[in-house]
Amino acid sequence: MWVFLATEIMFFGGLFCAYLIYRRWYFPSFAAASKSMDAGLGATNTAVLICSSLTVVLAVWAAQTARRTLLIGMLILTMLFGLAFLGIKGKEYKDKFEEHHVPGASFSFENVPVPGHPGEYANPRHAQIFFALYFVMTGIHALHMIIGLGIFTWLLVLAWKDRFTPEWHTPVEIGGLYWHFVDIIWIYLFPLLYLIDRHP
């Protein structure tokens, strides 16, 4: 599983690399675009994912100590946190569509001031690249969340059938590792996309 996660690190690493390069090139526009994000919702989603990581680690502990009810409860809670995350993400996407911040024909980012530089405005074409990276990075992250929900549904079925024992609960551990990894990706996406250049 760790080898798979290593490949995932490189996969997301490429995206982070693209982000860093464009951020260097189009720094003022990236700052203006980043400032248009709803940092409150982003922080809420970070907290939601951290709570889900806690329930995952409790689920693994429940499997280790043969507590079936606790295991099922924690798996369900994890999935609820996951759904809450996706719900908030969906709300953010909806806002972006309404603000015409989605890259494409109807994209509009005119006369948005650059933070800290009065009289300067963001280049809409550069800001569009920020939003393209935002949608690709968070979209692929959300896809990972949806896959995670699928994995946890399967774990829930196995737990319901009482297949896990303290000796054999490898699927819970591996599913947990996957969930934590997706959490870690968000831990980096949150500051990079929402927080940097926030200050007035």
Partner 1 sequence: MSDHAKSSPLKMYFGIWATLLILTFVTYRVAFIDLDPFNAAVALAIATIKATLVALFFMHVWHASEKLTKLVIIGALFFLALLLGLTMTDYASRLWS
Q: Hey, which residues between 58 and 117 contact partner 1 (CB under 8 A)?
A: 58, 61, 116
The residue within the footprint of partner 1, chosen from 93, 107, 135, 188 (CB under 8 A), is 188
Q: Which stretch binds partner 1 (CB under 8 A): 96-104, 136-144, 148-156, 174-182?
A: 174-182
Site for partner 1 in 35-54 (CB under 8 A): 39, 43, 46-47, 50-51, 53-54
| Residue 197 contacts partner 1 per CB under 8 A | yes
Look up residue 35 and give its amino acid. Answer: K
> Please, which residues have CB within 8 angstroms of residue 59's CB and are 6 or more apart in sequence?
70, 71, 74, 75, 78, 155, 172, 176
Buried b (16+ CB within 10 A) or exposed e, 84-122: bbbebbeebbeebeeeebbbeeeeebeebebbeeeeebb
Q: Does 190 bind partner 1 (CB under 8 A)?
A: yes
Q: Considering the rule CB under 8 A, would residue 10 count as an interface residue with partner 1? A: yes
Is 33 buried (19+), middle (13-18) or exposed (0-12) by CB count in 10 A? buried
- Which residues bind to partner 1, rule: CB under 8 A? 2-3, 5-6, 9-10, 13-14, 16-17, 20-21, 24, 39, 43, 46-47, 50-51, 53-54, 56-58, 61, 116, 176-177, 180-181, 183-184, 187-188, 190-192, 194-200
